[in-house]
A and B are shown apart, each in its own frame.
Chain A
């Protein structure tokens, strides 16, 4: 395997899943957001978002805190330091692969 392809193989599979990638991207740009905001931004169903957030929480990429703003209950999600680093690493790898492909290095045997 060429180094470029190896970079692809080592992509973080938790983040690589499209729905989770959307969630992590939103949480990367916004310091914290609640369940409803994420649901609207990512256009996911409640169940879908719940399960993806649970997976991200399981690997400690996201913290989920249930709290109140006034009388309104909020499920606030934040990217953890691990999650942030994992996302940056993922972006770096994708950039590397995209750059290598654009330069014509990726297809060499």
Chain B
């Protein structure tokens, strides 16, 4: 039943895209990458005390985002997305537990009794998770080049390869925009052109990628807000 054109498959795919439509996940990814990139740069290059203190604050904020990302997203979506276009549970939790986030940002895991039984839906989700995991692993392995190869061209090459990996890994879901995919080589070329020390290159690359995601998130958010003004009458 659930082949790529079946209504069940399409409904699942639309709920997945819906999660990224408002740009908030991209913004959060971008902000955490910027924080980590900043921390990385200040830890690997000589800096004054104020910068070191700031970098620790940035690292703390980065950790907080990593730990509380679902809650932060739910909190933002409850104020921006749900009043405009409604709520659909996150596909992020589709294979795990259903998670309810209350007003105090506490997540209550609810065992989902409705886990899809039609095998194709399960396999679609499994395939997507496998694809995304592979993409993350390949990107992590590619980033090692920045660390170990001490030549300016490695930044451009890493940017191009990462862009390609991201494109191949996410083209089926279209969860990453073309701006980010094409932006990776641009970030690579830019970091290469700056002729930085190897350690600073890694941090700058992460920071550049973070800026890319923030830009993508902001554009998506603005377009989303313009397309979807707040509904005047609350639903039901």
Would you call B234 and A70 a contact (CB within 8 A)? Answer: no
Which residues of chain B are near A35, meaning CB under 8 Å?
86, 235-236
| Chain B residues within an 8 Å CB radius of A76 | 87
Q: Contacts A69-B74, A91-B1 hold; do A40 and B86 have CB atoms under 8 A apart? A: yes
Set of chain B residues within 8 Å of A15, measured between Cβ atoms: none
Q: Which of A27, A39, A78, A91 contacts B235 (CB 8 A)?
A: A39
A57 adjacent to chain B (CB < 8 Å): no
Taking CB atoms, residues of chain A closer than 8 Å to B234 are 72-73
CB contact under 8 A between A37 and B236, given known A69-B78, A70-B78, A95-B1: no
Total interface residues in chain B, CB < 8 Å: 39
CB pair A30 B11 closer than 8 Å:
yes
Q: Are B235 and A36 in contact (CB under 8 A)?
A: yes
**Chain B 93-131 per-residue mask, 1 if CB under 8 angstroms from chain A, else 0:** 110001001010000000011111110010000000000
CB neighbours (8 Å) of A84 from chain B are 114, 117
Contact of B82 among A41, A69, A79, A95 (CB under 8 A): A69
Q: Does B190 contact A (CB under 8 A)?
A: no
B231: CB under 8 A from chain A? yes
B121 A29 Cβ-Cβ under 8 A: yes
A105 CB within 8 Å of chain B: no
Chain B nearest CB from A60 CB (Å) reads 13
Determine whether the beta carbon of A40 is less than 8 Å from that of B103.
no
B8 contacts A74, CB within 8 Å? Answer: no
When C-beta atoms are compared, the residue in chain A nearest to B76 turns out to be A70
- The verdict on A25 contacting B8 (CB below 8 Å), with A34-B88, A70-B103 known, is yes
Give the size of the chain A interface in residues (CB under 8 angstroms): 38
CB-CB under 8 A from A78, the residues of chain B are: 114
Determine whether the beta carbon of A74 is less than 8 Å from that of B82.
Answer: yes
- Provided the pairs A29-B121, A88-B117 are in contact, do residues A37 and B85 lie with their beta carbons within 8 angstroms? yes
CA–CA, A18 and B85, complex, Å: 23
Scan A7-32; emit 1 where CB is below 8 A from any B CB, else 0: 00000000000000010011111111
Check A41 against B235 for contact (C-beta < 8 Å).
Answer: no
Which listed residue (A34, A88, A95) contacts B87, Cβ 8 A?
Answer: A34
The answer to whether B117 and A33 have CB atoms under 8 Å apart is no
B8 touches A36 (CB 8 A): no
Q: Which of A70, A71, A74, A75 has the most chain B CB atoms inside 10 A of its CB?
A: A70
Residue A50 CB within 8 A of the other chain? yes
Known: A30-B12, A69-B101. A81 touches B85 (CB 8 A): no
Could you list 13 examples of A-B contacts with CB < 8 Å? A22-B7, A27-B114, A29-B121, A30-B15, A31-B89, A32-B87, A36-B85, A40-B86, A68-B103, A70-B79, A74-B235, A81-B113, A91-B1
Among all A-B residue pairs, the 6 with the closest Cβ atoms: A37-B86, A36-B86, A70-B78, A29-B11, A69-B78, A29-B12
> Hey, which bits of chain A sit against chain B, CB under 8 A?
22, 25-41, 46, 50, 66, 68-76, 78-81, 84, 88, 91, 95
